[in-house]
Amino acid sequence: MLCNAKQSRLLIIDEQERLLAAMAEKPRTQVLKNTSILLQAAQALDVSVIRSEQYPKGLGVTDHSIESQLNDAALKVEKTAFSCCAVPEVAELTHQQVLPQWILLGIETHVCVLQSALQLKTAGQEVFVVSDACCSRTKGHHKNALARLSQAGVVISNTESVLFEWLRDSRHPSFKSLSKLIQS
């Protein structure tokens, strides 16, 4: 199973100021960098983008570095439940088979990403979790969540794989510009 740009949604989960501040510096930096790469690729390839915010009143809004890259077409949802599937707008999208692939990234891997991914999988969606664009406060929780997700049939992927699966061919019109995103 490969990611297909024409069948995908990119779901950025809870990359908020206060949640990010609780993450170790190295994984936080990696998540923000890889989110930026996939967000730029999604927008160039017309992949639908959704971002969630967990209780923004208490945890702050989406990090400025991500927020500043979002276009008007990106759907923003607020939630108090840990799974994004508890949000009516997201739940409704799972009933539409037009875009059956969900590419998930964000924080925390073992809570909101895990619960969202498992519920999307249960709803019959094709779910990919981008391991190098997710993190938890501890490395052990992150690894445990990825193992659980893999056992449940969720595809564990990485930023470069998603990018090149979306492109499929070096002759793609966006190949040169998007491949430069991973060269730095």
Which amino acids are annotated catalytic? 14, 79, 112
Distance CA 139, CA 130 (A): 15
Pick from 78, 69, 14: nearest CA to 39: 69
Structure tokens at 179: 């491949």
Exposure string for 8-18, b = 16+ CB within 10 A, e = fewer = bbbbbbbbbee
Distance CA 42, CA 36 (A): 10
Strands (E), 28-171: 48-54, 75-79, 101-107, 126-135, 155-157
